[in-house]
Amino acid sequence: MSNSVPWITYHGVQLHHVSANGAYCYTTSHVGIDADGAPNAYGPSNTGLDFNANAGYPDGSWESVLVADPHDRDKPYQQPDGPFRGFFVTQTSLKDNISPDTSPAKYVDASKIPYIVFPGDFYRLRGTGHMGDLAMVRNLSNGKTSAAIVADQGPSSAPLGEISIKLASNLGGTNPNPRNGSGAPTGQIQYVLFPGSRQRPAWPLTATQIDDLAAAALQEIGGWSAIPDH
């Protein structure tokens, strides 16, 4: 039985509170695919998972997305070895407090971790949650569900619905492509967010830990039956 209460509207998307502890949900058909955090997201030959221009490189404010070379801060740092040698290191807003900034392991890998991107304006709204908070997501068109974590902040006025490559795949996407949006899951996607659910520390977590924690948070408010199916 749904206990949803209309809360606020963001860019035409209605948010509903679904529990007394601040959990809320929203549904949107918009899907944007984020590659940030993946070790092969961007590279100097523009052969990464996404276009360098989408990271603001070379003509924009790339420093907010790509890690600058500590020895020459006018250029992005290139991985010196490993399977993605030569690729840039791309940041996510959620990161650990231990690894050096130049380590891809510091950030949330979009190709392996299901995560959600919050537009800047949305993130600044009181009650929407923080980086590291957990979520459950379902595709109302095909019934596929996935746990997720809030891991990145996008452009201030962007619409809701930007998600990592892995979350897009979990929801029914086929080879989701951040460059052009092809392969994204289609239909109405519903998000249930649990503000205050981030762990201490918030990162790193494994995909299995995210699954278990988000599933427990959903069960605590009554499971999917507590969420309106629209």
Q: Tell me the whole-structure pTM to 2 decimals.
A: 0.96
- pLDDT above 80 (res 122): yes
97 in any annotated domain: no
**Do residue 24 and residue 116 come from a single domain?**
yes
**Do residue 30 and residue 57 come from a single domain?**
no
202 in any annotated domain: yes
**Do residue 218 and residue 122 come from a single domain?**
yes
103 in any annotated domain: no
104 in any annotated domain: no
**pLDDT tens per residue across span 98-121:** 999 999 999 999 999 999 999 999
12 in any annotated domain: yes
Comparing CA positions, the residue from 23, 7, 34, 37 lying closest to residue 191 is 23
**Do residue 44 and residue 29 come from a single domain?**
no
**Do residue 78 and residue 179 come from a single domain?**
no
Domain, as residue range, for 115: 5-34+110-223
**Do residue 184 and residue 202 come from a single domain?**
yes
Work out the percent of the chain whose per-residue pLDDT is above 70: 99
**pLDDT tens per residue across span 173-219:** 999 999 999 999 999 999 999 999 999 999 999 999 999 999 999 99
**Do residue 185 and residue 145 come from a single domain?**
yes
**Do residue 149 and residue 208 come from a single domain?**
yes
158 in any annotated domain: yes
The number of distinct structural domains making up the chain is: 2
228 in any annotated domain: no
- pLDDT above 60 (res 1): no
**Do residue 44 and residue 154 come from a single domain?**
no
**Do residue 118 and residue 202 come from a single domain?**
yes
- The string of DSSP codes covering the chain is ----EEEEEETTEEEEE-STTS-EEEEES--EEE-TT-TTS--TTS-SSS-GGGGTTTTS-GGGTBPEETTEEEEE-B--SSTTTTPBPB--SSB-SSS-TT-GGGB--TTTS-EEEEEHHHHTSTTS--TT-EEEEEETTT--EEEEEEEEEE-TTPPS-EEEHHHHHHTT-SS--TTT-TT---S-EEEEEETT---SS-----HHHHHHHHHHHHHHTTSGGGS---
**Do residue 74 and residue 15 come from a single domain?**
no
CATH number of domain containing 199? 2.40.40
**Do residue 50 and residue 132 come from a single domain?**
no
